[in-house]
């Protein structure tokens, strides 16, 4: 499975159950199926900078992160006043640390690894807002999705009661989908590209990108800059507009 977008785009992999293909009960041991039902869920909670995000589902259940934002979202437990409104979706990062485990403990203070990832001014404290759900951990793998990179992540797919089960959000260029015996599995794997590849730049152009936003300009005139936003899979300003900026055409 080849993803032509670059590493700034995410590939969202999902497994969909085929209607009427199998019974949720009575599956033989030779079938690569699984029964997983939501057993408990948590409300969205705030975890301050000096606290730990702690999730615990017990020995027979696994964690699935349903919500995770890092920043200064609103006045509440962690913030009493001052600037709010800056945040970053960190569901993927928290899922990598906790997803599939029976328990998890993450320090909020060390959650964002470097200052370039902090969505708010570095001199202001941020906090984590998160929620998770526990699902039954009785799982027989029917499909494996692996990033074809040296340090790539991988995810085993288990059958769940939901018709659509989000399995993996990846920024890899190439993914490998495999199964030990495809003939016995009745499932569909759906994928979609979410995000924008880097826009084409003139030879003297430059770009500073932070996920879904970027600033583009030309070395000849540093003050001439344009800020663009990724909407879905397209930038707010098209490539031709960026490549024909007057300051760049002078080069």
The answer to whether 230 and 213 are in contact (CB under 8 A) is yes
The pLDDT mean for the chain works out to 67
Task: Note the pLDDT of residue 149.
Answer: 61
How many angstroms from the chain centroid is the CA of residue 210? 15
Mean pLDDT of 130-153: 67
Task: Note the pLDDT of residue 46.
Answer: 92
Q: Do strands 154-157 and 143-147 pair parallel, antiparallel, or not at all (unpaired)?
A: antiparallel
- In what helix (H) or strand (E) does residue 247 lie, and over which residues does it extend? helix 246-249
Task: Note the pLDDT of residue 130.
Answer: 92
The tokens describing 251, both together, are 């080069």
Task: Note the pLDDT of residue 104.
Answer: 86
Task: Note the pLDDT of residue 123.
Answer: 67
Cα–Cα dist 122/47, whole Å: 18
Tell me the whole-structure pTM to 2 decimals.
Answer: 0.42
pLDDT of 128 over the 70 cut: yes
Mean pLDDT of 138-148: 62
**Total residue length of the chain:** 251
Cα–Cα dist 164/13, whole Å: 11
| Residue among 41, 38, 47 nearest 130 (CA) | 47
Domain edges within the chain:
10-194, 205-249
The tokens describing 9, both together, are 């785009």
**Assigned CATH topology for domain 10-194:** Jelly Rolls (2.60.120)
Mean pLDDT of 124-145: 75
Task: Note the pLDDT of residue 113.
Answer: 56
Mean pLDDT of 27-53: 58
**Tens digits of per-residue pLDDT, 194-244?**
678 788 777 777 888 877 788 888 777 777 778 888 877 778 876 555 545
Task: Note the pLDDT of residue 218.
Answer: 78
């Amino acid at each position: 499975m080849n993803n032509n977008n670059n590493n700034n785009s995410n590939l969202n992999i999902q497994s969909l159950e085929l209607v009427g293909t199998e019974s949720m009960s009575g599956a033989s041991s030779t079938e690569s199926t699984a029964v997983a039902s939501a057993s408990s869920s948590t409300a969205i909670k705030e975890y301050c900078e000096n606290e730990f995000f702690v999730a615990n589902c017990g020995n027979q259940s696994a964690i699935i992160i349903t919500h995770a934002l890092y920043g200064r979202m609103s006045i509440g437990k962690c913030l009493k006043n001052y600037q709010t409104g800056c945040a970053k979706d960190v569901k993927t990062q928290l899922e990598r640390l906790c997803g599939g485990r029976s328990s998890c403990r993450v320090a909020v203070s060390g959650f964002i690894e470097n200052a370039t990832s902090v969505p708010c001014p570095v001199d202001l404290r941020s906090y984590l807002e998160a929620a998770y759900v526990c699902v039954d951990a009785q799982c027989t793998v029917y499909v494996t999705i692996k990033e074809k990179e040296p340090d790539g992540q991988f995810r085993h797919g288990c059958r769940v009661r939901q018709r659509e089960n989000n399995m993996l959000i990846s920024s890899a260029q190439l993914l490998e989908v495999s199964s030990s015996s495809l003939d016995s599995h009745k499932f569909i794997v759906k994928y979609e590209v979410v995000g924008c590849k880097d826009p084409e730049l003139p030879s003297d152009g430059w770009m500073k990108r932070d996920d879904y936003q970027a600033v583009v300009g030309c070395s000849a005139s540093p003050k001439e800059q344009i800020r663009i936003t990724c909407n879905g899979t397209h930038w707010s300003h098209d490539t031709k507009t960026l490549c024909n900026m007057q300051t760049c055409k002078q080069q």
